[in-house]
Structure 1
Amino acid sequence: MTKQRQHYETAFKLEVARMIVDQGLSVAQVVKDMNIGRTAINRWIKQYRAEQQGKSGIGKPLTAELQRIRQLEQENRQLRSDNDLLKKASAFFARELK
């Protein structure tokens, strides 16, 4: 039987990372107390530290600000794509009318 993958809320990941980085708890102690995989916690810490340095890091952002930035960037890409499509369509129809 395979082990089911756990999914944790972003706020929970952020809190665990803060406990280790800011409060100085050891990773081993958190792994033991909270029954969370060491690999997952190490990823959360890496992401948290990257975000603290102003970098985007890897994976889903932990802080609300970076989540909002990623959302706006995605929306911006979509709007640019839609705008390009509309420009091409209007050029096509302008040629057809001539």
Structure 2
Amino acid sequence: MVKHYSSEYKEYVAKMVVEDGRKATDLAFELDLHYSSVNRWVNQYRQKIDAANAPKEYITSSELEALKKQHEKQLKELQEENEILKKAMHIFSKRHM
């Protein structure tokens, strides 16, 4: 007789292997599951995680413009900070002489 498990249960078991570092063989024995089932669930969970973390291959022109604006803003802030540090260094180096 084939047992059917919910997707939540499968993900829970897979998380115990992937995130908690449990051994699939030990976990299968403890939960009275077949090792190949646990192994398959773990592989599916890892693929799901990899797909969620994978970068997009293409970005739209509006996304590109938003990234450009963000980088320009960061660059401007860093340049301002650099100028302030240069002035502070100049002031403090005069005091020690």
Q: TM-score if structure 2 supplies the norm length?
A: 0.52
Structure-1 separation of matches of 2:48 and 2:29: 26
- For 1:33, the equivalent position in structure 2 comes to 30
Q: Secondary structure at the match of 1:53?
A: helix
**Mapping of 1:1-98 within 5 angstroms?**
4-54=1-51
Deviation at 1:35, TM superposition (A): 0.3
Identity of aligned residues (%): 27
What is the rounded CA distance, in whole Å, between the counterparts of 2:16 and 2:43 in structure 1? 13
Select the structure of larger CA radius of gyration: 2
Aligned-pair CA distance for 1:49: 0.4
Of Structure 1 and Structure 2, which has the larger fraction of its residues in helix? 2
The whole-number CA distance in structure 1 between the counterparts of 2:37 and 2:29 is 13
Kindly state the Cα deviation for residue 11 of structure 1 after the two structures are TM-superposed: 0.3
- State the shift of 1:52 in Å: 0.5
Aligned-residue offset at 1:28: 1.2
Structure 1 outlier segments of 4+, above 2 Å: none
> Structure 2: which amino acid aligns with 1:38?
Y
- Unpaired segments ≥5 residues, structure 2: 53-97
Distance in 2 of aligned mates of 1:28 and 1:38: 6
How many pairs does the alignment contain? 52
Q: TM-score, normalised by structure 1?
A: 0.51
